[in-house]
Structure 1
Amino acid sequence: MKLTSSEWTLDHLKVHLQAAVDLEFWTIPFYMSAMYSIQDRNSEAYQLIRTVVNQEMLHLQCAANIANSFGLSPTFDPPVYEGTTIPHLDFSKDDPEAIKPYLPYTAEIGPLDLEHINAMCLVEIPDYDTGAPVELHSDVDEYGSIGAFYEALRFGASCLKDEIRGGVRQVDYFSAFYRNMPDMKITESREAGFNQIDLLIDLITDQGEGYAKKDPTVPATFQNTADDTEPEDDHFEKFNQIKNAISKPLTFAIKPVSDYSDEDRELAQIQLESFDALRGALQLLFSGENPENFFPLMAGVGAAIRNCWEHGVTPAFSHSHLVGSDSNDVSYGK
């Protein structure tokens, strides 16, 4: 159901804000798993995905900061990786010709291959400008792209700007990497606070979260000034570079779950526990706490994912997936 501007309520906006956090959080294990499955860490594909993963962490911070400015302390439930379902996105609403080059795809955790890089491109696919007004939906799963989703969220935030309170549980771990970017926190309230929210949404969409631009170059304000080898390229461009490369990086061989040894199952359990610890730290971080072990936990998750792949074990990010059916026997989306 489409909404008029007068129908946006604070509760409805909070549902969209939690959905934004869910979607940004979903991308991080999915992209990290593809990245760490690559044998050569010096390969171009590995380095390109690494820069995107870092920016997805930034986008998660932005989404959580916006949520807190509206009085929502976001939650970090285990992401679900099943079939072809990507949270809050419905690609059937997009132009079929734009989607066609990225089929088939899968939303299951797995190594970097055609189906996974297709999914990564679809997550970041531009919301091409048709001249039509933004569709404002009551259902957060009615958006065809992240760009359309964030434009609706931006509009909802503008309708409720009087509810914005600056300085509420704000986090900034990335300013040292973005010297041209103003404050990444929401420090002001009401109209001035909305201007800061508007800038953070621009940061997310211009870096590659599905927004079509006449000039695809990431504006200098939003470019990584520290450790990105291609800071001017957005996520969609970086993933297409990998997809269209003549040679694809070698990935680790994977085993069916039925062939796991006790050691393999233990590696999967360690990896899942490290991810659970990271989720807990994120919950504390955006609830106003200051977990001192946040960065070591993030590094630990990466090391555990890598260790799984090196032993042929597919990483798991929920207990149901850890003990579930063989993820290598799923049917990928067509």
Structure 2
Amino acid sequence: MSMPALAAAPRAPQNASLLLNAAQVHAQVAVAVELYTIPFYLSALASIIPPNAPNATDKSKAAYAAVLSVCTEEMLHLQLAANMCIALGTTPNFTAPVYGVVPAFPDGTPILDPNDPATGDSGILNARIGNLLQALPTMLDIEVPSEFEAGRLVPPYHSIGQMYAALRTLARLASPGIPWTTTHQQVVFATQPFTQTIASFNDLSTAIDVICEQGEGQAQSPPPSAPFNADEFRVPTADQTAGTGSVPASQAQFSHFGRFLNVQALGLDDSVLVYPGTATSNPTSPENLKLQSDFAALITTLNGIWAGTTPQGGIWSMTSLLDDAAAVWQKGNIPQWTPEEIL
């Protein structure tokens, strides 16, 4: 699939069609990006000593709470991105992400080329599943705020915020031809101070603000300089971007980038983690096979929910995947969410 070029303004009917197609492609990519983060973050979360474990420390409890809160909000973001697809007249295509390979736009995810001053990364993102210590730099790269990024809004984008900025622009230009369909859109999270159903450009724009501000924090000019402080990366206003109801206010006040900076500031070491994983990890262990089976079932469920053929409650099966990933770590293996033959 080729990426339709961004247009300055619609000049002819065929341009309107191209703009709508480009907006739909970007909404599909948004679904892929949000889905990409969830297994990656859940794997890191599952590697942390659970807060109720006898050997849990204050550091492990703080890290667990921060990463869990981000995982919860990423599920909200996935719901919003899928609803954007429906609004734009396309059904979201949930496809299991593959890690450890360089992604390509638009079929690969997350089509990011971050310039992250917190990690020094400035290359195409190639996420590899690992424990929290191994994954944290990439987690910061994924959530890097757009104010650190420059350049035209063309892929590969330097941040999730840039990708959503391009989607917003395309949706605005294509708005007269957008059907703004609400049939099969889903609202599975607690009541929010913003609409979760996308029925207009304003709704779409608000949803993008929520996703970006929860992830990156409020844009600052000039951008902060290293060393960074999480207080510089807060969610701007609680009435616009409050958490999902299951995210404590102590976490919801910080953006995802800020929460991961807080985790980084804990100075974690191997003693905080229970499961290091090994270089000889078995991707076909019984625990990994169960994870792969349950994840494949979830992907099928998600596709059915937004196609209107599956009850919406099935999305919550995503939370059980945390136990599956923990079971993999407990056996000394690294979670592998997709079968080897897909890689």
Q: Which of 296, 301, 312 is equivalent to 1:276?
A: 296
Q: TM-score, normalised by structure 2?
A: 0.79
| Equivalent position SS for 1:9 | helix
Show the counterpart of 2:328: 308
Tell me the equivalent position of 1:30. Answer: 40
Give the share of equivalent positions with the same residue, in percent: 29
CA-to-partner distance for each residue in 1:26-50, whole Å, 9 max, x for gaps? 0000000000011233511111000
| Alignment of 1:80 onto 2:83 | no
CA RMSD across the alignment: 2.8
Question: Using the alignment, how far apart are the partners of 2:138 and 2:132 within structure 1?
Answer: 10
Match of 1:298 among 318, 334, 341: 318
Deviation, 1:303, is 1.4
Letter aligned with residue 77 of structure 1: T
CA distance in 2, matches of 1:142, 1:235: 21
Q: Which residue of 2 aligns with 1:332?
A: none
TM-score, scaled relative to structure 1: 0.81
Report SS of the residue matched to 2:146: coil
1:127 alignment partner AA: S
Aligned to 1:200: 207
CA distance in 2, matches of 1:136, 1:64: 22
Q: Which residue of 1 aligns with 2:58?
A: none
1:170 aligns with 2:185: yes
Could you say which residue in structure 2 is the equivalent of 1:217? 234
Q: Which residue of 2 aligns with 1:236?
A: 257
Stretches of structure 2 that go unaligned for 5 or more consecutive residues are: 10-14, 53-60, 104-108, 222-231
Structure 1 residue 111, shift from structure 2 partner: 1.0
Structure 1 residue runs of 4+, over 6 Å off? none
Question: Hey, what's the Cα distance between the residues in 2 that align with 1:292 and 1:209?
Answer: 28
In structure 2, the CA distance between the partners of 1:211 and 1:89, relative to structure 1 (3 Å rule), is farther
Task: Determine the structure 2 residue equivalent to 1:11.
Answer: 21
**Quick one: distance in 2 between partners of 1:236 and 1:316?**
25
The Cα shift of 1:318 comes to: 1.3
After superposition, give the CA deviation of every residue in 1:209-240 in whole Å (9 maximum; x if it has no partner): 47624674312121124432321100000001
| Per-residue CA distance 1:65-101 (angstroms, 9 max, x = gap) | 011001110111110101565521112xx3x756517
Mapped to 1, the partners of 2:43 and 2:118 lie a distance apart of: 26
Between the aligned partners of 1:154 and 1:273, the Cα distance in structure 2 is 36
- Which residues of 2 match residues 1-334 of structure 1 at below 5 A? 3-6=6-9, 9-41=19-51, 43-83=61-101, 85=103, 87-91=110-114, 94=115, 97=117, 100=120, 107-113=127-133, 115-128=134-147, 135-137=152-154, 141-162=155-176, 163-176=178-191, 178=192, 181-186=193-198, 188=199, 193-209=200-216, 212-213=219-220, 216-218=233-235, 219-220=237-238, 221-224=240-243, 225-228=245-248, 229-248=250-269, 249-257=272-280, 260=282, 265-291=285-311, 294-295=314-315, 297-320=317-340
- Which residues of structure 1 form unaligned runs of 5+? 325-334
The aligned amino acid for 1:160 is A
The letter for the 2-side match of 1:64 is A
